[in-house]
Chains A and B, each alone.
Chain A
Amino acid sequence: MTTMADDMLNLEPASLEALSRQLGEPGWALEARRAAQEAFAALPFPERTEEAWRRTPPELFNPQGRGIVRLTPAFDLLGEGEPEEPVGLPFEKGLARLGQVPESLGPSGSRLQEKFSALNAAFRSGGAWVGLPRGRSLDRPLQITHQVPTIQAPAAFFPHSRIVGERHSKATVVESFASQGGDLLAAPVVEIQLEEGACLQYVLVSRWGEGTRALTHLDVRLARNSQLRVLFLGVGGATTKAFLTGNLDGEGAKSEFLGLVFASGQQHFDVDTLQNHHVPAGNSDVLFNCALNESSRSIFTGNIFVAPGAQKTDAYQKNRNLLLSGKAHADSIPKLEILANDVRCTHGATFTTYDQDQQFYLQSRGLPDADARRLIITGFFQEVIERLEGPVLVEWLAGLMQEKMETSLGV
């Protein structure tokens, strides 16, 4: 793993060339960065009055005056087994191998339509490139880790990861974003593309350090009969804004978006999910559980959009909020926009504190108050974690949540 927090690199156009050179990119890649930089400059900065930014001030993510952190991700495999070479490259290596920019980063690509994605495309300073070959099944979860070390001056980190599941491939990918101390702005972009019949479990672990503001974009495209299960796991960072979007482009696609947020202290998580049903017979299922301790805050906005003609859509969305402290604050905005009639679309949201009946039951079996609470919280997370496949992964995730619980609850 190599890291550079280069004072010489900033958000000036001149840095594009330096970044591109340092990463050994071909000329066309630099051209793409320049186009993205122009798009970034032309796009207006988001305003608080916009629906998506009403509860998290966009100024928090102003990148000006920051150096750029360049970082190469680490690849390994979760769990025991034969040592084998993980399928994964640093983004720029994958890009060079592809020989051209992917469509989404091209002149009219989707990434250049949004301010922070364009910023990422211009000043990309890390990220992973994973191609899952046709028909191939990975036995063990692939783990990608972006670990930003302690930084001294205000810095920004722009990783871009791209995962392509070719036809009928099957894999689990866990991507962790983490940082140590220092004032960091992290704006990762993750793009996942599943071809026909591909099947992917993808876990995004957001374990940023205390001084990090994270603005995450996850964008998924699902071809016919492909299946995706995403877990967004938010435990770290000072302020997190995330946009998680599933595009059901092919009939029979299945998109499952899971979320676990465990916020403590002054942490602020604001997550938008969107399921775009463009074609008939798609299935989407969102389950987002947020537990809030101390003075933390979470906002969940979920939308199910069913385009005209997308008949036989089956969509479900659930957001649960567990308020563990009198000072915690949770918002939920579960939306439906349905423009077809032969559909079944449902959403639900709940807000509760510790269930007193559960707590009493556990205490009546001899558990101290703190243990009872801990069990109840574990159960609250378990509902989401058990949706994932693979004992190694499930155990790993349960351990991660346990760790967070220990540091934030002191139990």
Chain B
Amino acid sequence: MADASTEAAIVQQIRSDYKYGFSDAEDYVFKSGKGLTRELIMQISRLKQEPEWMLDIRLKAFEVFKSKPMPTWGADLSGIDFDDIHYYVRPSEKAETNWDDVPEYIKNTFDKLGIPEAERKFLAGVSAQYESEVVYHSIREDLEKLGVIFLDMDGALRQFPEIVRQYFGTVIPMSDNKFAALNTAVWSGGSFIYVPEGVKVDIPLQAYFRINAQSMGQFERTLIITAPGSFVHYIEGCTAPVYSKDSLHAAVVELIALEGSKIRYTTIQNWSNNVYNLVTKRAKAFRNAAVEWIDGNLGSKITMKYPAIFLMEEGARGEVLSIAFAGKGQHQDAGAKMVHLAPHTSSTVLSKSISKDGGRASYRGLVKVLPKAENIRSNVRCDALILDPESRSDTYPTMDIGNQNVHIGHEATVSKVGDEQVFYLMSRGLSEDDAITMIVNGFFEPFTKELPLEYAVELNRLIKLEMEGSVG
């Protein structure tokens, strides 16, 4: 633990609203006007010099996007104006592999966000996306030699078109939902990872996403494939400036864990409170493979995100561990989906949420067992704390069970911070504020302890900031 005086100084330094709320002047290579047209999609594809088949996919997806109504369930999306969004902004010509080649103002931004520093300290590879494009990516040489591919998605499409073509959209079809269709039509950036057979990437790869422009739409597309027996841990973080106008982030993330491999995908979502965060994340886990979504939702105006795992073959395991912090004006509608398609598959979900200052946190989940999927174990647990009478918490789980030989449990609890816990801590000299913050940190601990230390420390600090002045 840092010395109290320095900690207070740090808190003071970053507390002015939202730590990442600064913005840069725009100096872009290309910035589309507002709104989305067929012509713009063709232009994006041309600028990226894409193969014809990708343009076909984009145009088909655009039709699907137009044909699908806005979802009427979940959070209120009526504030989104699709005609008031910049769909494609290209800040620089290409993704650099040398940090020094990244444009100066972008470098400064990422310096402020601590990105290259983190890379030196504890990462095996870094990708940094600014607006629509990845501006920098790197991977440790020894991993590259082992055949690990870590590229921006556009780079992957140029260098490994066959692999991309084989897997793109196979986990999340464009017709899955309106925002998946939108992403498929206008996607840009995102990460592509391929880990060859037997290779275990023991330290995390990280991507960092930054929205800078006002009324920006960011539509990154990520695809991770782990070959049999391999392992990768991927971490993503995201921030944006504070503007009065809303931005849209609609990513699609597809994971494919082949036999006996494991993917851990960690997200620390800390968008500013003017970002609609509507993300489709889904994994397929094959024989004896494991997928873990570690999903932290702190920021955004509205988040709708339900990381899913399709357990395709025997022995596959899925885990979602998520936290949500809904503060003033925020609606975190997050959850998990587990679809058991094969026998002897198992899943666990642990969801923890806090709502405060009128915020609303909702858990929405699905556990589905298909008739032929025997011997299934699934356990879901949702805990919610509501910190004041103005805030709201919902739990909307669905269990759809078509097989008899199952062991499935779901539990959810909503309560306030326990009076006895507060008194116990106060009787040991902690102020009420500190006591509640400590209880809240403890409440999130099952999540925090799964993060690399640097992230855990940062998360605890963010929670402390969010919690300040919560008493009286």
Q: Is B a genuine binding partner of A?
A: yes
Which B residue sits closest to A332, measured CB to CB?
B399
What chain B residues lie within 8 Å of A335 (beta carbons)?
394-397
Contact status B406-A353, CB under 8 Å: yes
Cβ-defined contact, A346 with B388, below 8 A: no
What are 22 A-to-B residue pairs whose CB atoms are below 8 Å? A308-B390, A323-B404, A323-B406, A325-B404, A326-B371, A330-B401, A332-B397, A333-B397, A334-B410, A335-B394, A338-B393, A338-B414, A341-B416, A343-B415, A343-B416, A345-B413, A345-B414, A348-B411, A349-B399, A350-B410, A351-B406, A351-B409
- Contact (Cβ within 8 A) B406 A334: no
Interface presence of A395 (CB below 8 A): no
Return B238 CB to nearest CB of chain A, in Å.
Answer: 29
Tell whether B402 is near chain A: CB-to-CB under 8 Å: yes
Is B459 interfacial (CB 8 A cutoff)? no
Beta-carbon contact of B401 and A334 below 8 Å? no
**Bound: A328/B409 CA distance, A:** 18
Decide: B398 and A348 in contact? CB cutoff 8 A: no
Q: A330-B399, A352-B407 are in contact. List 9 more A-B contacts (CB 8 A).
A: A326-B404, A327-B371, A329-B371, A335-B395, A338-B392, A341-B388, A341-B389, A347-B411, A349-B410
Q: Is B400 an interface residue (CB 8 A)?
A: yes
Chain A residues packing against B (C-beta within 8 Å)? 51, 308-309, 311, 321, 323-353
Chain B residues whose CB sits within 8 angstroms of the CB of A331 once the complex forms: 398-401
Q: Do residues A309 and B404 form an inter-chain contact, with CB atoms below 8 A?
A: no
Task: Name the residue on A nearest B402 (C-beta).
Answer: A329
B408 an interface residue at 8 Å Cβ cutoff?
A: yes
Using CB atoms and an 8 Å cutoff, list the residues of chain B in contact with chain A.
73, 371, 384, 386-416
**A328-B404, A332-B410, A351-B406 known; A343+B399 contact, CB < 8 A:** no
Could you say which of A309, A335, A351, A353 has the most chain B C-beta atoms within 10 Å of its C-beta? A351
Which residues of B are found within 8 Å of A344, using beta-carbon distances? 413-415
Q: Separation in Å of the B327 CB from the closest CB of chain A?
A: 14
Distance of A333 from chain B, by nearest CB (Å): 5
Complex CA gap A352/B396 in Å reads: 21
Contacts of A342 in B (CB 8 A): 389, 416
Q: Which residues of B contact A349 (CB under 8 A)?
A: 397, 399, 408-410
Q: Which residue of A lies closest to B392 (CB)?
A: A339
Number of A-B contacts (CB under 8 A): 112
Within the complex, the shortest CB–CB distance from A278 to chain B, in Å, comes to: 15
Most buried by B among A309, A333, A336, A348: A336
What residues on A are CB-neighbors of B73 within 8 Å?
Answer: 51
CB of B412 within 8 A of CB of A343, answer no
A residues in contact with B393, CB < 8 Å: 336, 338
Note all chain A residues with C-beta closer than 8 A to B411. 346-348
Q: Is the beta-carbon distance between A336 and B414 smaller than 8 angstroms?
A: yes
In the bound complex, CA of A337 to CA of B412 (Å): 12
Rank and list the top 9 A-B pairs by shortest CB-CB distance, nearest first.
A341-B386, A351-B408, A323-B404, A336-B395, A349-B410, A345-B414, A332-B399, A348-B411, A353-B404
Q: A94 to nearest B CB, angstroms?
A: 40
Complex interface: chain A residues within 8 A of B408 (CB): 349-352
Residues of B within 8 A of A346 (CB): 411-414
B contact residues around A337 at 8 Å (CB): 392, 394
Nearest chain A residue, comparing its CB with the CB of B362 = A337
| B471 nearest CB across to chain A (Å) | 13
A275: min CB distance to chain B, Å: 13
CB distance from B278 to the nearest CB of A (A): 20
Which residue of chain B is the closest to A297 with respect to CB atoms?
A: B402
Q: Is B410's CB under 8 angstroms from A336's CB?
A: no
Q: Which one of B387, B396, B410, B414 lies within 8 Å of A348 (CB-CB)?
A: B410
Taking the closest CB of chain B, its distance from the CB of A46, in whole angstroms, is 16
Assembled-state Cα–Cα distance A215/B413 (Å): 31
Neighbouring A residues of B404 by C-beta, 8 Å: 323-326, 328, 353
In the complex the two chains form, what is the Cα distance from A264 to B394 in whole Å?
A: 34
How far is the CB of B344 from the nearest CB of chain A, in Å? 15
- Cβ B389 vs Cβ A333 within 8 A: no
Contact A336 B386 (CB under 8 A): no
B405 near A353: Cβ-Cβ < 8 Å: yes
Known: A328-B404, A351-B408. A311 touches B389 (CB 8 A): yes
> Contacts A311-B389, A350-B410; is A334 near B403 (CB within 8 Å)?
no
Q: Which residues of A contact B397 (CB under 8 A)?
A: 332-335, 349
Is A338 within 8 A of B394, CB to CB? yes
- Is the CB–CB distance between B402 and A340 below 8 Å? no
B394 surroundings in chain A (CB, below 8 A)? 335-338
Give the shortest distance, in Å, between A264 (CB) and chain B (any CB). Answer: 14
Q: How far is the CA of A335 from the CA of B389 in the complex (A)?
A: 20
- CB neighbours (8 Å) of A330 from chain B are 399, 401
* Closest A residue to B419 using CB positions: A342
Give the distance in Å from the alpha carbon of A344 to the alpha carbon of B397 in the complex: 18
Question: In the assembled complex, how far is the CB of residue B298 from the closest CB belonging to chain A, in whole angstroms?
Answer: 20
How many angstroms between the C-alpha atoms of A336 and B360 in the bound complex? 13
Q: Which residues of A contact B415 (CB under 8 A)?
A: 343-345
Q: Which chain A residues border B371 with CB–CB below 8 Å?
A: 326-327, 329
Closest to A339 in B: B392
Q: How far is the CA of A331 from the CA of B400 in the complex (A)?
A: 4
Q: In the assembly, what is the distance between CA of A347 and CA of B383, in Å?
A: 10
In Å, the complex CA distance between A102 and B412 comes to: 39
A341 contacts which chain B residues (CB < 8 A)? 386-389, 391, 416
When the two chains form their complex, are residues B410 and A343 in contact, meaning their CB atoms are under 8 A apart? no
Residues of A within 8 A of B388 (CB): 341
- Residues of B within 8 Å of A334, CB to CB, are 395, 397, 410, 412
- Bound together, the chains give a CA A348 to CA B379 distance in angstroms of 11
Q: Which residues of B contact A333 (CB under 8 A)?
A: 396-399
Max count, chain B CB within 10 A of own CB: residue among A51, A309, A324, A331: A331
Minimum Cβ distance to chain B for residue A255 (Å)? 18
